[in-house]
Amino acid sequence: MCGIVGYIGRRRALPILLGGIKNLEYRGYDSAGFAVVSRRGVESRKAVGRVARLEEKIGDPDRFPGTAGIIHSRWSTHGEVTEANAHPHADCRGRIWLAHNGIIENYKELKRALARTGHTFHSETDTEALAHLIEEFTIRTPGLAIEEAVRLALLSVRGTYGLVVLDRESPDKLVAARNFSPLLIGIGRGEYLVASDASAVLKHTKNVIYLDDGEMAVLTPREHTVWDLRRRPREKPLHEIEWTLEQAQKGGYSHFMLKEIFEQPEAIENALRGRLVPKDGHAQLGGLETVHERLAGAERLIIAACGTAYLAGRVGKYMLEACAGIPVEVDVASEFRYRAPVFRKGDVFLAISQSGETADTLAALREAREKGVPTFGIVNVVGSTIARETDAGIYQHAGPEIGVASTKAFTSQVAILALLALSLGRQRDLSLTQGQEFARDLARIPELMRRTLGVDDEVRRIAAACRDFKNFLFLGRKYNLPVALEGALKLKEVSYVHAEGYGAGEMKHGPIAMIDERFPSVCIAPRDSVYEKMVSNIEEIKARRGPVIAIATEGDQEMGAIADHTIFIPKAAEIFVPLLSVIPLQLFAYYFGVEHGHDVDRPRNLAKSVTVE
């Protein structure tokens, strides 16, 4: 998730590029850079940190006369946050400059092949490989048009991209291309902008063309042409943006939280891409290579995390124990660090953190390291402290999460824990057939999530109908117990009502005393191995006149008849149901908070990243 802006026209490019990229800052970034081309050649500057740091470095932007240029704000996926890793990336001769959003999956192979033909690389990024690949085509065929070199290079690439290319030898052209990473073209008078997001072009034009996957565009100050990668021309409809700047940043959603809930299918695709290998029934976790042996021989896994990340860890425990037969302990990091944990030979420690900066998780990690335990992390923010201090790790690639209440980071962490369970399982007793079935079921989840998001309207109605309740009980069993805890946590966070998550089997040991007609229960009751038990619990609640909102499997008429409100989710393998069942709970918390007029993106008293104890 990076910001990209390109400009070609009659005006000076740099001030327009800077203005545009600042409107993408909400996406999160860690470094920025630009390249502009003029008669003096290509001029480029990069800086680590916010765009303001780049501006300091630039000084007076009028010093750069180029009328064509590209700018990028990076949210790292490959390589640490350094100036060398910041975009745009160039080829060996500084001719071809590239700003890219997405992941080039086969970049290692490409780099190896290009290094053999004499290319030298200056960054650890996947993007740089593509700049050199484009260069390679221009070397092989002198005089080749830049757009053709880009097209040929893209035919050799596996992965996702939204990209813009600047060529010193064709200063009157920008080449843009898209595959699974958004890109649009803003059409002005005698000028064009390219951007990863409408908010970057709004100041200059409201007329845009959205590129679709597998399309590329060539822009000159006078005209634009769009083709697919087989050189077939594409007729593109012109759209008029009707959003304000703020609406555009939220992609048309009313809040970041809602946008991020809807981004979950894509976040899971990003977590699985290049890692899940259904045909081999395996998961390739490149980031764990350095601890591979110790993990393979691990006798116990200790997970420490906070808040929602902790609850992802609790789902992971069920998955890892079921698939890999490895004992897993999960602890809130703030307890773990102070309870004198006992470590044994064969222990491996896992920290889970969206931000990679949570103080307690970091302290727990340091405690484990001090005791000589091998450590690894599941982290979203590349180059964060936890990512740096663990021996190895798996990045989530979920994109920036802006809403304080975590949503897409949770499901992405659960998906990665599923990959881990598969990988460790296959090193142990999970057979090839079982592994293949697991992988096939997991690969279907993004699509099933998209279908689950169809409950949006229904959940909004239910939240409105429940608006006067002051207490909620969330109940689940087995894989869905942590989901019940997460549902209650979400509701507390964004709507400030009392909500408790409980294992349904524990209900008789206390919570049932609270049940009456003013105390609703949200029951996660998919058709799974504990379905009958959940039905009994729901009957017990109904017998005490407690209102019930059930999350049930599509087609479950029995549940529809018992519960007051039933939200149906698609059928999925039991182990992956948490990735679906959590969605209505996130939406319920969101709409309940909105219904009460709360600032759901920035709930009172909460912070996105808790860097103090």
Give the residue with the Cβ less far from ligand G6P, 1 or 193.
Answer: 1
CA distance 589 to 499: 10
CA distance 226 to 237: 11
CB of 375 to ligand G6P, least distance (A): 15
CB of 123 to ligand G6P, least distance (A): 27
Q: Which residues bind ligand G6P (CB under 6 A)?
A: 306-309, 353-355, 358, 361, 404-406, 606, 608-610
> Distance from CA of residue 101 to its chain's centroid?
13
Tokens of 485: 């805890």
Asked if residues 31 and 74 have their Cβ atoms less than 8 Å apart, the reply is yes
Can you tell me whether residue 606 is helix, strand or coil?
coil
Indicate if 608 belongs to the active site.
yes
CB of 310 to ligand G6P, least distance (A): 8
CB of 410 to ligand G6P, least distance (A): 8
Q: Which of 259, 278, 231, 508 is nearest to 407 (CA)?
A: 259
Give the residue with the Cβ less far from ligand G6P, 198 or 404.
Answer: 404
Give the residue with the Cβ less far from ligand G6P, 312 or 530.
Answer: 312
CB of 160 to ligand G6P, least distance (A): 24
Peptide bond into 88 cis (omega under 30): yes
Asked if residues 272 and 415 have their Cβ atoms less than 8 Å apart, the reply is yes
Give the residue with the Cβ less far from ligand G6P, 138 or 355.
Answer: 355
Taking CA atoms, 431 is separated from 296, 423, 445, 572, in Å, by 16, 11, 21, 21
Give the residue with the Cβ less far from ligand G6P, 106 or 609.
Answer: 609
Cross-strand pairs, 177: 163, 216
CA atoms within 13 A on the CB side of 413: 33
CB of 354 to ligand G6P, least distance (A): 3
CB of 409 to ligand G6P, least distance (A): 6
DSSP structure string for 538-590: HHHHHHTT--EEEEEETT-HHHHHHSSEEEEE----GGGTHHHHHHHHHHHHH
CB of 412 to ligand G6P, least distance (A): 11
Tokens of 425: 């399982």
Give the residue with the Cβ less far from ligand G6P, 81 or 201.
Answer: 81
CA distance 379 to 391: 13
Give the residue with the Cβ less far from ligand G6P, 226 or 351.
Answer: 351
Q: Which of 203, 236, 571, 608 is catalytic?
A: 608
Q: Which of 404, 315, 317 is nearest to 354 (CA)?
A: 404
Asked if residues 555 and 569 have their Cβ atoms less than 8 Å apart, the reply is no
Give the residue with the Cβ less far from ligand G6P, 304 or 548.
Answer: 304
Asked if residues 450 and 477 have their Cβ atoms less than 8 Å apart, the reply is no
DSSP secondary-structure letter at 488?
Answer: H
Locate all alpha helices (DSSP H) within 339-431, ordered by sequence. 359-370, 385-389, 408-427
Count of C-beta atoms within a 10 Å radius of residue 248 = 18
Q: Write out the catalytic residue numbers.
A: 2, 608
